[in-house]
Structure 1
Amino acid sequence: MIAKIIPIKSLRKSSFATLVKYLTDPQGKTERIGKVSVTNCYTDELTAAQLEIQNTQDMNKRARSDKTCHLVLSFPEDERLSNADLAAIEERFCETLGFCGHQRISVVHDDTNHLHVHIAINKIHPRKLTIQNPYYDYKKVATLCEQIEQEYGLTQVNHETRIDQADRVIQDIENKAGTESLLGWIRRGCLAEIKSADSWQDLHAVLQSHGLEIRERGNGLVFVSKSGVAVKASSVDRSLSKSSLVKRLGAFERAAHTQETAKTSQKRKHYQPRPLQNRIDTSKLYARYQQAQSQAAAVRKTAWVMLRDQRDRLIDRAKQKARHKRTIIKNLPVGKLGKKALYATVSLQFKTAMTIIKNDYRRDYARSKARYPRMAWLDWLHIEAKGGNDEALAVLRSRNIWCGEVTGNYVGGNQNNHNSPGMGAIESITKSGTVIYRVGSTTVRDDGKRLHIPSNAIDTSFAGILQVAVKRYGNRLVINGDDDFKKAIAQAAVQHSIRVTFDDPALEQYRRQCMQQQRFTKTRTSRGISL
């Protein structure tokens, strides 16, 4: 499992109410929100608890740091724990971080391949009104994660802290976008050559041979690719910061461009964002993505120009109107005080008009950006897959490289008809290509290889799930899970006369016994009616 305190990345302090609103927003999905728990408050009602926590935070006037802690507990794929176990684990993490007795609201999310729990903790103690800021929390959290993995038999994850922050940044960027970052490309491809340069001109030559350029920006240096993507030199490696390079190479010098370096740079590979996974040929799909982004950028620019021109025209009209009013006031036969009052009225009207014009412009511009947003490769694939693009869905699923043992209740098979009909209305698709839809009253998670069934599924939905499985995998099915689930599946197949066989010999024998019992019951019933 992984436990992480999510840092706030904006200048403003986090809002507890805003965080809870995000955590409890179903986003149109029936399976996103699991159990919602309120701890150490006078009430279990969510709205009242939020007000209580907000009032507690407002009573501390001395704290200048953030008063809310956002802790996330994430479990490996296909590992599902009971609500009681999740509550016990949550309590242990809060005690370890020094939040025992602090108010908190926790929400279980199950809309991804990984079960995860969001915990919004009030860092202000409800009675002492002091703030608790845990120090070296990553060490405490890592130790506790290892203990919980052993106690609950979970998949063991490497919790060693990596010293190199750049590696964490690269992983975060590339995991979110799905394409290779400039930072990762430089570190993997040409960092050794860059660090070996003995002069500024040698450094410029090495960078030009890789399609890069180094520029001064602010108090530091940045590497810029031919496509315009830039990254701080110090984030690539600390030895490439401006102070380090100036100390080693002398005062900064601009590049002296030569034809020889230009010819050399044409022969080397230059940075181009490309999909990281190579298990499926994505060249055509990625070309479509780039074309769609280019078209969206052109539409966005056109809309921005139109909005800007409209704003400028309205501003000019407001200025002319105010100027005309001032001219009229100037020629009025009134005293100085009367003119002063009239001028103040005109000025107030002009300021009000300017505020309305600017607010309308910002609102329309935000709507235009939302209508044609910039999308990362994975975001575009996600939208395409939800729209029915099987190729995009296959690319998302190819990113799922989980090699551990698959646990839990699921139905699968050796055959796989990916385009088979029969699935319910799609509610959502995860970034790993797991399709989530409902069959009857049960939420099914289809990862392309098997249908995952929740432990609280109702038996009346099993017939529909089996029919979907037969269309997807054929008549020979693989059933995994606890004994109760397997028996319920076999009984549903017999009761609804679904022609299937099971890969598990014991389960197949149980199905046949149920069939014989059903036939025997029908025979006795028919004889009784005839008599």
Structure 2
Amino acid sequence: MIGKIVTGKSFRGCLNYLHEGRLQPTKELQQLEAAKKQAQVISFNQCFGDKKQLMKQFGEVRLMNPRLSKPVFHATISFAYADSNRLTIQDKADIATELAKAFRFEDNQYVAIAHADTKHEHLHIVANRIGYNGKTASDSNSYKRMAEFGRRMELKYNLTQVLSPNRFLSKQERQEQKTKPRLDNRKELLKQRLNTAIQSSKTMLDVKQLMEKHGYEVELGRGIAFTDQQHVRFKGSQVGFALATIEKKLKQQQNQQAKRQEVQPNTYLKRDREENEIKERKGMRL
């Protein structure tokens, strides 16, 4: 399993994302994004209710320490493909409880949400770093603590073991990591697939769906970004295809197609006139 932790400012933004997905530019895309998320709340702690109720409850406790700029604790746990369907909902809820204890917010508000919008199972835990006593759960050394937590859970639940993050690998493990595909190879593959998807598409929705078929998670908002199956994320601009660039290419393709449709009938008319002229000349000779 792989874990990632971020701290943030907005419970509203975090909970909106977990329930509805990333903000999309159109209503149609937003509905598709929300349906794809398949969000399932599997446990509550010191809080309860729907998305709006949770926002209100988290916000009220946040006021107990208004000086803290980043009260949102957001952990993402991704499980290996080989572990698909190995864990029950209760197992995942128990892992969320274990995480809360490891990061010492077990008495704070938190909610665990399971997602099924990618090919691998993953779990989100959103917690209020501020407790009912006004004290704040520390986020120091979260990178190392999450790595250690992941190794413990792999052993406890008999999950596929993965290498620790690079900072904590042995010399031998670091050497083995060097044999893995280079980041540049990932970028080049993304660039090739994205270019092909654009050439085969009429709209941004077409591009998004084609890239998802290749296993990429597509973030589409003010810009565009792609996350591959190994959780490596690239902005479109990093591979030469910013959102504006893609939209421009799609527009150019539409214009070229329209011109071809205009030229084609004219070509047929010109050919017909030439054939008629030839027939008339032949008739005059007879």
Normalised TM-score (structure 2): 0.57
Query: In 2, distance between residues paired with 1:287 and 1:44?
Result: 44
The answer to whether residue 28 in structure 2 is matched with residue 24 in structure 1 is: no
The answer to whether residue 4 in structure 2 is matched with residue 4 in structure 1 is: yes
Query: In 2, distance between residues paired with 1:286 and 1:380?
Result: 11
Deviation at 1:287, TM superposition (A): 5.9
Deviation at 1:52, TM superposition (A): 1.0
Deviation at 1:58, TM superposition (A): 2.2
- Of 378, 384, 387, the residue aligned with 2:210 is 384
Deviation at 1:25, TM superposition (A): 1.1
- Contact 2:43–2:113 under 8 Å retained in 1: no
The answer to whether residue 33 in structure 2 is matched with residue 119 in structure 1 is: no
Q: What percent of counterpart residues are identical? A: 23
CA 1:161–1:431 in 2, change beyond 3 Å: closer, same or farther? closer
Letter aligned with residue 79 of structure 2: F
Query: In 2, distance between residues paired with 1:122 and 1:100?
Result: 10
Query: In 1, distance between residues paired with 2:76 and 2:7?
Result: 11
Deviation at 1:44, TM superposition (A): 3.6
The answer to whether residue 41 in structure 2 is matched with residue 41 in structure 1 is: no
Deviation at 1:385, TM superposition (A): 5.8
Aligned to 2:63: 58
Q: Deviation digits for residues 22-70 of structure 1, max 9, x if unmatched? A: 101165365632421452335344422220111111232232x311011
- Contact 1:33–1:107 under 8 Å retained in 2: no
Normalised TM-score (structure 1): 0.32
Deviation at 1:4, TM superposition (A): 1.0
Aligned to 2:260: none
Q: Deviation digits for residues 48-102 of structure 1, max 9, x if unmatched? A: 2220111111232232x31101110110014231110001111111111111111
Query: In 2, distance between residues paired with 1:86 and 1:153?
Result: 13
Task: Give the root-mean-square deviation of aligned CA atoms.
Answer: 3.9
CA 1:84–1:31 in 2, change beyond 3 Å: closer, same or farther? farther
Question: What secondary structure, in the 3-state scheme, does the structure 2 residue paired with 1:6 have?
Answer: strand
In structure 2, list runs of 5 or more residues that go unmatched.
22-29, 175-179, 217-226, 230-286
Higher relative contact order (CA 8 A, sep 6+): 2
- Contact 2:47–2:54 under 8 Å retained in 1: yes
In structure 1, list runs of 5 or more residues that go unmatched.
9-13, 180-273, 297-370, 373-378, 387-392, 400-429, 433-531
Q: Deviation digits for residues 477-502 of structure 1, max 9, x if unmatched? A: xxxxxxxxxxxxxxxxxxxxxxxxxx
Q: Deviation digits for residues 157-182 of structure 1, max 9, x if unmatched? A: 00143389xx9xxx9x959x942xxx
CA 1:49–1:384 in 2, change beyond 3 Å: closer, same or farther? closer
- Of 123, 130, 136, the residue aligned with 1:131 is 136
- Contact 2:47–2:109 under 8 Å retained in 1: no
Aligned to 2:104: 98
Deviation at 1:150, TM superposition (A): 1.2
Aligned length: 198
The answer to whether residue 71 in structure 2 is matched with residue 76 in structure 1 is: no
Query: In 2, distance between residues paired with 1:146 and 1:287?
Result: 39
1:107-506 equivalences under 5 Å are: 107-125=113-131, 127-162=132-167, 174=183, 178-179=186-187, 274-275=188-189, 288=196, 382-384=208-210, 393=213, 396=214
Question: What secondary structure, in the 3-state scheme, does the structure 2 residue paired with 1:383 have?
Answer: helix
CA 1:37–1:44 in 2, change beyond 3 Å: closer, same or farther? farther
Q: Deviation digits for residues 379-402 of structure 1, max 9, x if unmatched? A: 98653367xxxxxx5xx26x9xxx
Query: In 2, distance between residues paired with 1:71 and 1:148?
Result: 15
Aligned to 1:413: none
Task: Using the TM superposition, name which of 139-148 and 20-29 deviates more.
Answer: 20-29
CA 1:54–1:7 in 2, change beyond 3 Å: closer, same or farther? closer
Query: In 2, distance between residues paired with 1:158 and 1:40?
Result: 31
Deviation at 1:154, TM superposition (A): 0.7
Query: In 2, distance between residues paired with 1:385 and 1:96?
Result: 37
CA 1:163–1:60 in 2, change beyond 3 Å: closer, same or farther? same
Deviation at 1:110, TM superposition (A): 0.9
Letter aligned with residue 62 of structure 2: Q
CA 1:145–1:288 in 2, change beyond 3 Å: closer, same or farther? closer
Letter aligned with residue 86 of structure 1: K
